[in-house]
């Protein structure tokens, strides 16, 4: 399995009981090594996809293979090699980090006392929680809770790690720490970071997919996607009152504030007009051109 280890999602669809089609004929291949960013707006279907891969819910159609494991049928084999950090990781507020991590290690089947202590201590150090290991989880900041979430997801050397919307609500320093810890995870592991924050992907992911309304819109490396927009993104400062009319005139893919002024970014093969200057494309330009499907 070591050589061929990849996640292959083929033609999956999921409709909820209320009629919402959360995933629609979605196919995606995710290779091991480096972090994979799954990017999409709220409601795109990211959590539904993550929960399906994590064997927490069923799909209506399609298949998911993880190496040679049939994910939709062989839940046990997936769970043995899965680390999952859910969006709403509830923590027991009255126990210490060390106690709860020890408990999770037991649940993951690490029952030998010495071995378990080794694993728990190693993970507390790795996630920078060693100094607060005896503090109650209820006293933890958002960033500390997320790092605890990573520690529990790493128990048992998982080969697939799924992290669902992790950085919302973290301050910049906590967010950096969190992303650094994730990006140190080994080359033989598949790490999927699901997020609606473009910067999470541009900072730490070597490959990505953009989904919206349950469909795959784009997949590949962020740098290739950015390169494909070279020379096609233009910007100009506008006043608030010019905004609406410029949306009618140009393929506006976004607005940015800079130094108190509003700039519009426009997708165009040629300069849209004298007031525009060429803008070096970034992943936000990729994201919004893709969502608006202007290229």
CB of 91 to ligand ADP, least distance (A): 21
Q: Is 37 in the site for ligand ADP (CB under 6 A)?
A: no
Total of residues contacting ligand ADP (CB under 6 A): 12
Residue 152 within binding range of ligand ADP, rule CB under 6 A: no
Segment contacting ligand ADP (CB under 6 A): 17-25, 61-69, 136-144, 171-179? 17-25
Strands (E), the chain: 6-15, 21-31, 35-39, 61-66, 69-70, 82-85, 160-164, 190-195, 205-212, 215-220, 233-238, 252-258, 261-267, 277-278
Q: Which residue, 17 or 172, has its beta carbon nearer to ligand ADP?
A: 17
The region of 18-26, 28-36, 225-233, 286-294 touching ligand ADP under the rule CB under 6 A is 18-26
Stretch that binds ligand ADP, among 45-53, 59-67, 171-179, 265-273 (CB under 6 A): 45-53
Cα angle at 76 between 111 and 95, to 5 degrees?
A: 45
**Span interacting with ligand ADP, options 16-24, 119-127, 239-247, 272-280, rule CB under 6 A:** 16-24
Q: Which is nearer to ligand ADP, 263 or 288 (CB)?
A: 288
Beta carbons within 10 angstroms of residue 258's beta carbon: 9
Under rule CB under 6 A, residue 16 binds ligand ADP: yes
| 46 near ligand ADP, judged by CB under 6 A | yes
Q: List binders of ligand ADP among 48-107 (CB under 6 A).
A: 48
> Could you give the C-alpha distances from 6 to 35, 54, 151, 271, in angstroms and in order?
13, 15, 23, 42
Say whether residue 20 binds ligand ADP (CB under 6 A): yes
CB of 39 to ligand ADP, least distance (A): 10
**What number of other Cβ atoms are within 10 A of residue 93's Cβ?**
10
Q: Does 143 bind ligand ADP (CB under 6 A)?
A: no
Minimum CB distance to ligand ADP smaller for 34 or for 43: 43
Residue 239 in contact with ligand ADP, rule: CB under 6 A: no
Q: Containing H/E element for 154? A: none
| 11, two tokens | 């033609």
Distance CA 201, CA 194 (A): 9
Rule CB under 6 A: choose which of 7, 12, 22, 35 binds ligand ADP: 22
Q: Is 219 helix (H, G, I), strand (E, B) or coil?
A: strand
**What DSSP line would sit under 33-48, residue for residue?**
SSEEEEE--TTSSHHH
Residue 109 neighbours by CB distance under 10 Å: 9
Q: Is 47 in the site for ligand ADP (CB under 6 A)?
A: yes
| C-beta neighbour count of 31 within 10 angstroms | 13
Judged by the rule CB under 6 A, the positions of this chain that interact with ligand ADP are 16, 18, 20, 22, 40, 42-48
């Amino acid at each position: 399995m070591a050589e061929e280890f990849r996640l292959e999602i083929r033609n999956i669809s999921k409709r909820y009981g209320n009629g919402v089609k959360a995933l629609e004929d979605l196919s995606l291949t995710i290779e091991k090594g480096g972090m994979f960013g799954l990017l999409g707006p709220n409601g795109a279907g990211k959590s539904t996809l993550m929960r399906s891969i994590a064997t927490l819910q069923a799909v209506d159609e399609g298949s998911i293979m993880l190496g040679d494991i049939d994910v939709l049928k062989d839940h046990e084999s997936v769970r043995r090699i899965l680390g999952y950090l859910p969006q709403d990781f509830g923590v027991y507020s009255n126990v210490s980090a060390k106690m709860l991590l020890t408990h999770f290690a037991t649940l993951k089947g690490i029952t030998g006392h010495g071995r378990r202590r080794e694993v728990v201590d190693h993970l507390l150090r790795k996630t920078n929680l060693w100094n607060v290991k005896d503090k109650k989880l209820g006293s933890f900041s958002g960033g500390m809770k997320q790092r605890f979430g990573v520690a529990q997801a790493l128990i048992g050397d998982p080969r697939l790690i799924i992290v669902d919307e992790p950085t919302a609500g973290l301050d910049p320093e906590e967010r950096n720490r969190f992303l650094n810890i994730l990006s140190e995870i080994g080359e033989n592991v598949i790490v999927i970071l699901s997020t609606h924050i473009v910067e999470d992907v541009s900072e730490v992911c070597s490959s990505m997919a953009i989904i919206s309304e349950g469909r795959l819109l784009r997949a590949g490396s962020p740098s290739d996607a950015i390169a494909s927009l070279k020379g096609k993104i233009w910007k100009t400062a506008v006043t608030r009152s010019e905004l609406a009319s410029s949306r009618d005139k140009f393929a506006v893919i976004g607005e940015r504030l800079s130094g108190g002024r509003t700039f519009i970014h426009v997708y165009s093969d040629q300069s849209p007009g004298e007031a525009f200057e060429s803008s070096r494309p970034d992943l936000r330009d990729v994201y919004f051109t893709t969502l608006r499907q202007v290229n």
